[in-house]
Amino acid sequence: MNEALVVTGGARGIGARIAILARRPVALFYRTRANEAARVVSEIESNGGRAVAIAADIGVEADVMRAFETIDRVFGGVGGLVNNAVDPGPRRRLADLATEDLERVFRTNVLGAFFCTREAAKRMSTKNGGAGGAVVSMSSFLATKTGAPGAWVHFAASKAALETMSYGLGKELAPEGIRVNVVRCGVIATETRLGQDKDYRDQAIAQVAMGRMGEPVEVAKAVLWLLSPEAAYVNGATLDVAGGI
């Protein structure tokens, strides 16, 4: 595959694992972690791959447009997208949630995914002369299934919006050669999760039948399967990678 796989939030955690394991040209978007993004690119290139790190705040439309124009110049095409960038916002009850925090969460998690999917779909669409492709959006099992009351209702609502977007676009874009699916993560050992209060984290793990957190690489492999030709007939689906919550 010569077309680039675009991974938002690709500088660390699940996004970095997806980029490194992809075995195809990768464009990873990052907002602030330039050093981490450079390390991911270096690891990919040291294994003979091609990669570029692009600084972009996906909640800003102009940044997304510029980032995809860079991909056009560097790779000449887009073959896949992973909507992985996320802003969970602060742990707050609704009554204590500042408007700017709510807006930031939805701008990144919802508007950012819309902007990136729109630009990727334009390039992948067989109607526009593209070769088709696939989109995978990252969601959260605990958030969407519980609503995350008393802590992250704002985050849960943003992920529910992302899931609905993906389901609808799976139907809208399939005739143009583009599959759209969701990976719904459980309790994963990311930097964000490991930085949470231990009691809160332990409560989450206690809901997992397998009794442990998942590893970013386990999620990455599920995402890459959905992007691959092996999942050619999987569209509009949600794959739970949650250890049996």
The DSSP line for 179-236 is: EEEEEEE-SB--HHHHTS-HHHHHHHHTT-TTSSPBPHHHHHHHHHHHHSGGGTT--S
Going from N- to C-terminal start, the domains of the chain cover 4-241
Task: State the angle between helix axes of 34-46 and 13-21 in degrees (0 to 180), rounded to the nearest 10.
Answer: 20
Amino acid sitting at position 197 = D
Element (H, E) at 143: helix 141-146
Q: Would you state the pLDDT for residue 2?
A: 76
Query: Would you state the pLDDT for residue 201?
Result: 87
With CA atoms as reference, report the closest residue to 235 among 138, 164, 159, 135: 135
Helix (H) or strand (E) holding 63: helix 61-74
Asked if CATH classification 3.40.50.720 holds for the domain at 4-241, the reply, yes or no, is yes
Q: Report pLDDT for 18.
A: 98
What is this structure's pTM? 0.95
The closest alpha carbon to 75, from 4, 166, 177, 165, belongs to: 4
pLDDT tens digit at each of 245 positions of the chain: 579 999 999 999 999 999 999 999 999 999 999 999 999 999 999 999 999 999 999 999 999 999 999 999 999 999 999 999 999 999 999 999 999 999 999 999 999 999 999 999 999 999 999 999 999 999 999 889 999 999 999 999 999 999 999 999 999 999 999 999 999 999 998 878 888 888 888 888 999 999 999 899 999 999 999 999 999 999 999 999 999 98
At 149 the pLDDT is: 94
Whether 109 contacts 86, CB under 8 Å? yes
What pLDDT score was predicted for residue 1?
Answer: 59
